[in-house]
Amino acid sequence: MHLEVNQLHKQFNTRRGSLTALKNINLHIEEGEFVCAVGASGSGKSTLLRLIAGLDTPTAGEILVDGMQVTGPGPDRGMVFQSYTLYPWMSVAENVEFGLKLQGVPKQRRRQQTAYYLEVVGLSGFAKALPKELSGGMKQRVAIARALASQPKILLMDEPFGALDVQTKEAMQQFLLEIWRSTNTTVFMITHDVEEAIFLSQRIYVLSSRPGTVKQELQIQLPSESHPQIKRHPVFQQYKDKVMRLLCEDGHKVSSSLEDLPLAI
């Protein structure tokens, strides 16, 4: 799997005129990598992910998955959103199975795959439960199982833990890393949470605001495998200072133009 974004540009026509959300974005993600894009509110993170998912079209530039241009959504890219997107009338297992059904996967294989991924996310005991019976973290685990069940080439995550409380968020980050390691999935995640990006990623793209551009690409090498205590390690703090500095530099520029202040970070 190789994802490549070349000279990506996105402009929206709004009632107040045209707005450049993304400008000259170049990035790549290699097989098995966990990469995050971090940026302040309005830096075009969701727009970038939606374009890669094929839910919207670029104004200019191209997105290639294994050399093939993205022209719309496809099973090669699994999505997990911040808001809970499970069908409320379907059981947990039916939700996980649904994408496979749409792809025409035979029933027995669908069942096997659903059972396997529910096991992976630790929710085998909730196969028959309805989404309303689950906590926020459990719902996101189902969403991850659903995305993984289609065995995408890359998992695209749009602030998947943004709606969770701090403790659940930390548990989910740890959980996601374990899944990433055990399934060799390639992950591209966007977040405005700097600690989350450093904790999870092997590489980070720091985005500037309005228009969103890649300000810096950072390789992350923590002294040991990520575990929650690593967030207190001096090396972790150095990365955090560096990313925050990059975002704040950008914030001065943004605040002087009376747009969003960097306080959203």
Ligand X SMILES: Nc1ncnc2c1ncn2[C@@H]1O[C@H](COP(=O)(O)OP(=O)(O)OP(=O)(O)O)[C@@H](O)[C@H]1O
**Cα–Cα distances in Å, from 2 out to 65, 71, 153, 178?**
6, 16, 9, 22
Pairwise CA distance, residues 38 & 194, whole Å: 7
Report in angstroms how near the CB of residue 196 gets to ligand X at its nearest.
13
6, 24, 26, 41: which one contacts ligand X (CB under 6 A)? 41
3, 8, 21, 142: which one contacts ligand X (CB under 6 A)? 21
Collapsing DSSP to helix, strand or coil, 18 comes out as: strand
Q: Contact letters (x/-) for ligand X, 184-223, by CB under 6 A?
A: --------x-------------------------------
Kindly tell me which of 21 and 142 has the beta carbon lying closer to ligand X: 21
- 23 scored as a contact of ligand X (CB under 6 A): no
Closest CA to 61 of 253, 192, 212, 217: 212
Report in angstroms how near the CB of residue 220 gets to ligand X at its nearest.
20
The region of 44-52, 145-153, 172-180, 232-240 touching ligand X under the rule CB under 6 A is: 44-52
Which residue shows structure tokens 């989404």?
131
Pairwise CA distance, residues 122 & 92, whole Å: 12
Kindly tell me which of 44 and 262 has the beta carbon lying closer to ligand X: 44
- 52 scored as a contact of ligand X (CB under 6 A): no
- 14 scored as a contact of ligand X (CB under 6 A): yes
Residues 60-79 that bind ligand X (CB under 6 A): none
Alpha helices in the chain (DSSP H): 45-53, 92-102, 107-120, 136-149, 166-183, 194-200, 234-256
Collapsing DSSP to helix, strand or coil, 50 comes out as: helix
Contact residues: ligand X, CB under 6 A: 12, 14, 19, 21, 39, 41-47, 192
